Amino acid sequence: MIDFPGPHWHMPPSNPMNANSTAGVPALARQVGLFDATMVVMGGIVGAGIFINPYVVARQVHTPVLILATWIAGGLLAMVGAFIYAELADRMPNVGGQYSYLREAYHPALGFLYGWVLLLVVQTGGMAAVTITFARYFLELTGLKFSDRLVAVVALALLTVINCLGVKLGSRVQSGLMLLKIAAIAGLIVAGLWLIPAPHSVVRPVLDQPVSLGLLASLGTAMVPVLFAYGGWQTANFIAGEIKQPRRNLPRALLMGVAGVIALYVAVNLVCVRALGPAALANTTVPATAVMRLALGDRGATLIALGIAISTLGFLSQSILTAPRVYFAMAEDGVFFRGVASVNARTHVPAVAIILQSVWAAVVALSGRYEQILNYVVSMDFLFVGLTATCIFVFRHRERQGSTAAAGDPGEIGYRVPGHPFTTGAFVLACWLVVATTIYRYPANSLLGMLILVLGLPVYALWSRRQKAGTDQA
């Protein structure tokens, strides 16, 4: 029988400079301020997708109003998610984010399974695809004749070294890349609004068919890529243990960061619809390039290619900064290799965890199998995002019962999900509808992802037994 240890909530440390204070042992340092945390939130959401995804939505819904309404609705749902994670961050400002919430709300095994698929599939598969995308744009822009995989590995290695030199340096580099991303998107918006000679209407027509189940189904299908495009804000919670005053700054960063991304995404889609019209938008797979070419010719296409390269590099930087803290937290709990919990005495970062993730991402990139792994990402990611949101129900129930297992002091919690339980329930339902849709459309890939998830159970059983054996000996 599998021996599962019980939950064990780590109280926030009393020392404001250390996330995990232990005398004489190097610990994570709280060096990330509100601005950098906000850039981390935005950097986790904005990748190359916003330059490409508008056409996917336009193929499902065919009027300017419906296209823009879909992106606005997706943004509002993302904001609900930000409020949910803001409350979780306020209750448990711990390193590891989702891993910690699932562990404390339900069971350590569930937290482990999240970390397991994050390392094997979700984070590293996405990193591999993004770094190859960066490499291809980089080679196209520079005209160099290197292999795209070589450039990908070099980019991974460079960003890994930067993040191993300290969380402050890593977050500053990430913030700089995010500002460049914003500049690239702003350039696209300005060009689309002021340099297009014959813009299309963005208010007519409202509908191209009567309201029906078919129209609702199209809207639902269009929401899947929109929700995926808005995903990623939750990764900022991974570094809660390194954010200054996390109960104040992390919730603020989540809400401001998601609001900023909503403004950027809706503006980009407004520009795409205005410049190209719904039909032409649906017929191009490179909408941002098409807009910039209309506005500035070939020079515009080159500029947007540079913007996409910077955006992919920034997303990669954010991934290397945030996700290793999950594996660090797992190792601290004794359910992963103990060395992954080590912290560099000089830089105060989990260097082993950072290197582990980057090495595996490089292996996936070099194997050429990242496109297959990406097919597993959507179902796995949204399964756990929705499940993590349900932790609010658990913690609030414990709070009402006066349970000592409730997360946070009710009198001190400053951020609560507005409209709970209805808004939280709607968010969970939307996440799991994405999972169901993905499984329906890609059953083989999705089920393989589920198999990888289930294979984590015997691995967890092995680690938990080792942990118990070590505790008994101590």
**pLDDT tens across 332-389, in order?**
999 999 999 999 889 999 999 999 999 999 998 888 776 667 667 888 899 999 999 9
What average pLDDT does the chain have?
Answer: 87
pLDDT for the residue 411 = 59
122 CB-near residues (< 8 Å, 6+ apart): 377, 380, 381
| pLDDT of 472 above 60 | no
Q: What is the mean pLDDT of residues 138-164?
A: 93
| Dihedral sign for Cα atoms in the order 255, 258, 261, 263 | negative
| pLDDT of 9 above 50 | no
42 CB-near residues (< 8 Å, 6+ apart): 178, 181, 182, 257, 260, 261
Q: Are 167 and 321 in contact (CB under 8 A)?
A: yes
SS3 content of the chain, % helix, strand, coil (to 5): 75, 0, 25
| pLDDT of 54 above 60 | yes
Instruction: Specify the DSSP element, H or E, that contains 269.
Output: helix 246-282
247 CB-near residues (< 8 Å, 6+ apart): 12, 89, 90, 93, 412, 414
Q: pLDDT tens, 86-126?
A: 999 999 988 899 999 999 999 999 999 999 999 998 899 88
Q: Are 61 and 218 in contact (CB under 8 A)?
A: yes
Q: Which token pair is 180? A: 């460049």
Q: pLDDT tens, 439-469?
A: 887 788 788 888 999 999 999 999 888 877 7
Q: pLDDT tens, 385-435?
A: 999 999 999 999 998 888 766 666 665 777 889 999 999 999 999 999 888
Distance (Å, whole) CA 272 – CA 405:
49
Q: pLDDT tens, 226-239?
A: 988 898 889 999 99
Name the residue with tokens 């500029």.
303
Q: Which token pair is 384? A: 């756990």
Report the Cα 332 to chain-centroid distance in Å. Answer: 23
| pLDDT of 1 above 50 | no
pLDDT for the residue 370 = 67
Provide the whole-model pTM: 0.89
Q: Are 272 and 279 in contact (CB under 8 A)?
A: no
Q: Are 317 and 173 in contact (CB under 8 A)?
A: yes
Q: Which token pair is 208? A: 């191209």
Residue 149: CB atoms within 10 Å:
17
Distance (Å, whole) CA 359 – CA 427:
34
Point out the least confidently predicted range of 61-70, 196-205, 364-373.
Answer: 364-373
Angle between helices 370-389 and 108-117 (to 10 degrees): 150
Cis peptide bond prior to 197, omega within 30° of 0 = no
Q: What band does 17 get if pLDDT is binned at 50, 70 and 90?
A: very low
Q: In this prediction, what percent of the chain has a pLDDT beyond 70? A: 90
pLDDT for the residue 139 = 92
Q: What is the mean pLDDT of residues 306-311?
A: 93
Domains in the chain and their CATH numbers?
A: 34-468 (1.20.1740.10)
pLDDT for the residue 212 = 76
Residues in the chain, overall count: 474
Q: Which token pair is 453? A: 């998830």
Q: pLDDT tens, 256-302?
A: 999 999 999 999 999 999 999 999 999 998 899 999 999 999 999 99
Q: What is the mean pLDDT of residues 149-172?
A: 94
Distance (Å, whole) CA 471 – CA 380:
32
367 CB-near residues (< 8 Å, 6+ apart): none
> Strand pairing partners for 110?
none
| pLDDT of 14 above 70 | no
Exposure letters 302-334 (e unless 16+ CB within 10 A, then b): bbbbbbbbbbbbbbbbbbbbbbbbbbbbbbbbb
Q: What is the mean pLDDT of residues 170-188?
A: 94
